[in-house]
Amino acid sequence: KLSVMPVIDQELTRLIDKVCYDVYHESMPSSIDVARKRDTLNFLQRYVTVLFPDATLTLFGSSMNGFGLKNSDMDISLTFLSCSTGAELPDGALSSLFKHMKKCRDLKKLIYVPFAKVPIIKFLHVPSNLEGDISLYNVLAQENTKLLAAYSEIDERVKIMGYLVKKFAKVCNVGDASKGSLSSYCYILMMLYFLQRCSPPVIPVLQALPESTEPLPRKIVESCNVYFYEDIASLSKVWPHHKKNVKSPGQLWIEFLRFYTEEFDSENYVVSIRSTELVLKLEKRWFTKVFAIEDPFVHDRNLGSGLTRKMNLYIIKAFRSARSLFTSKLKATGKQSLVGVY
Ligand code: ATP
Ligand code: MG
């Protein structure tokens, strides 16, 4: 069935590349967007300090991981200088903060979600029109933010692919984890996994570098090893494949779609960006038929655990449609924006 896919000629590749760069440039936050986020964070920091003088707000998630879109939300972790871990926190810190935030004229759509896996306060900052959420001691998320940021620094194509897959998830309605789908964090991990495994690889497994160092260094945060090779500027010294893959973003995008529709055996294997070895669902005792995505630091956490079978099929169908649209219809219609294609 797949062999009838049209051969991608040079003209089509150029067109797909243009779509990739268009999406990238349209979605990238401008310096004004970045400044707006910084000012909003400073405002919140000042406001929160009135209640908790030793509070620190730290941005994480896509605002800091290199894959932030223009209108991405603000993910904020609240910590206190006087408490080194969340376990030492006095009860009710988040609910007191919620009451305090309700008094602020500039904050609207305030929602306190106390019983979630990670309790949060959601808000809209009216003057900047930025939405976000505040969680307590989300330290591992701060670490995975740094890991993703390091990957995004390796090559511009990593960022382009990240923006494309996020846009794809949004346009195809497959990016809302609260509706049985996958989060944008999951899609970024799927993209990184593909870029580690394409030939030659575009990115290494940073958590397994330098290959010659045995044992690898360890850095423990909340009982997890969050070590990864951070010196991206010196990557060529420790990774022989650096810059060997010279494919264009469009070629990589089509290969990505092919990888997840044809090559990757999602019934038996796990999307795992921390390992150079293939990871079997069986060895993790994850008896699921749908995509399983391993958290890079919390190895027993399947980030795809909320994915329904129906949605899994729908996601694969979306990958297939995207692949056939990009390799045939795009040329026929001449449409040059991803949204236009859909
Ligand atoms: P977006 O631009 O769509 O907001 P994002 O990467 O910020 O992308 P969020 O859903 O806002 O995605 O999540 C914020 C951050 O929280 C992620 O970047 C990741 O660091 C962390 N995170 C999200 N979901 C999980 C999860 N299930 N387990 C661990 N960390 C998570
Ligand atoms: Mg976010």
Tens of pLDDT, residues 41-73: 999 999 999 999 999 999 999 999 999 998 899
**Domains 2-27+149-341 and 31-141 agree in fold:** no
Q: Is 186 in the pocket of ligand 1 (CB under 6 A)?
A: no
Q: How confident is the model at residue 214 (pLDDT cuts 50, 70, 90)?
A: confident
What distance in angstroms lies between residue 104's CA and the mean position of ligand 1's atoms?
A: 26
Q: How confident is the model at residue 134 (pLDDT cuts 50, 70, 90)?
A: very high
CATH, domain 31-141, list 3.30.460.10, 3.30.930.10, 3.65.10.10, 1.10.10.10: 3.30.460.10
Q: Is the distance from CB of 304 to CB of 284 less than 8 angstroms?
A: no
> Which ligand 1 atom minimizes the distance to the CA of 175?
3
Cis bond before residue 200 (omega within 30° of 0): yes
pLDDT tens digits along 319-337:
999 998 888 755 555 544 4
In words, the CATH class of domain 2-27+149-341 is: mainly alpha
pLDDT tens digits along 276-328:
999 999 999 999 999 999 999 999 999 999 999 999 999 999 999 999 888 87
How far is it, in rounded angstroms, from Cα 317 to Cα 304?
17
Residue 269 host element (H or E): strand 269-270
* pLDDT recorded at residue 9: 77
What distance in angstroms lies between residue 133's CA and the mean position of ligand 2's atoms?
A: 9
Q: Is 183 in the pocket of ligand 1 (CB under 6 A)?
A: yes
* pLDDT recorded at residue 116: 83
Q: What share of the chain is helix, strand, coil (3-state, %, to 5)?
A: 50, 15, 40
- Residue range 251-265: mean pLDDT, rounded: 95
Q: Are strands 220-221 and 224-225 parallel, antiparallel or unpaired?
A: antiparallel
Q: Which of 37, 64, 75 to mutate to test the pocket of ligand 1 (most atoms within 8 A of CB)?
A: 75
Give yes or no for residue 341 having a pLDDT over 80: no
> Which ligand 1 atom minimizes the distance to the CA of 72?
2
* pLDDT recorded at residue 3: 39
Residue closest via CA to ligand 1's atom 27 equals 303
Q: Hey, where are the domains in the chain?
A: 2-27+149-341, 31-141
Give yes or no for residue 5 having a pLDDT over 90: no
What distance in angstroms lies between residue 247's CA and the mean position of ligand 2's atoms?
A: 29
Give yes or no for residue 216 having a pLDDT over 60: yes
Q: Are strands 74-80 and 130-136 parallel, antiparallel or unpaired?
A: parallel
What distance in angstroms lies between residue 13's CA and the mean position of ligand 1's atoms?
A: 32
CA distances from 58 to 55, 70, 162, 238, 330 (A): 10, 19, 23, 31, 42
pLDDT tens digits along 145-178:
999 999 999 999 999 999 999 999 999 999 988 8
